[in-house]
Amino acid sequence: DTEVTQTPKHLVMGMTNKKSLKCEQHMGHRAMYWYKQKAKKPPELMFVYSYEKLSINESVPSRFSPECPNSSLLNLHLHALQPEDSALYLCASSPRADTQYFGPGTRLTVL
């Protein structure tokens, strides 16, 4: 079983809203990731939680903040986003921080 779940599937938000994306896996994987993917581009890594340690892509703006409440759950908190943040947000998990399995993604639109 390599299922990673993400909610919601779609999200439309205004630039002043605060929202959160949720990612969950019950495979005992020790690493979880957030990616952003724009149309016709490859996924771009935003954050990594690996063995309870957070790594940040320094190019990611502070209006995105990750939270890892436990080893199965990874949230991405969104605040004061811009229209250019509209994208497909992908969560992935990995049993050994190498092979990554992606969730279905959240399609985010910022108005």
Partner 1 sequence: QKEVEQNSGPLSVPEGAIASLNCTYSDRVSQSFFWYRQYSGKSPELIMSIYSNGDKEDGRFTAQLNKASQYVSLLIRDSQPSDSATYLCAVNENEKLTFGTGTRLTIIP
Binding site for partner 1 (CB under 8 A): 2, 31, 41-43, 45, 48, 50, 55, 88, 90, 94, 97-105
79 or 107: CB nearest partner 1: 107
Report d(CA 35, CA 12) in Å as an integer. Answer: 18
Q: How far is the CB of 24 from partner 1 (least distance, A)?
A: 15
Q: How far is the CB of 104 from partner 1 (least distance, A)?
A: 5
SS3 at position 84: helix
Counting Cα atoms < 13 Å in the Cβ hemisphere of 72 gives 8
Distance of CA 74 to the CA centre of its chain: 8
27 or 80: CB nearest partner 1: 27
Query: Do 68 and 32 form a contact (C-beta atoms < 8 A)?
Result: yes
8 or 14: CB nearest partner 1: 8
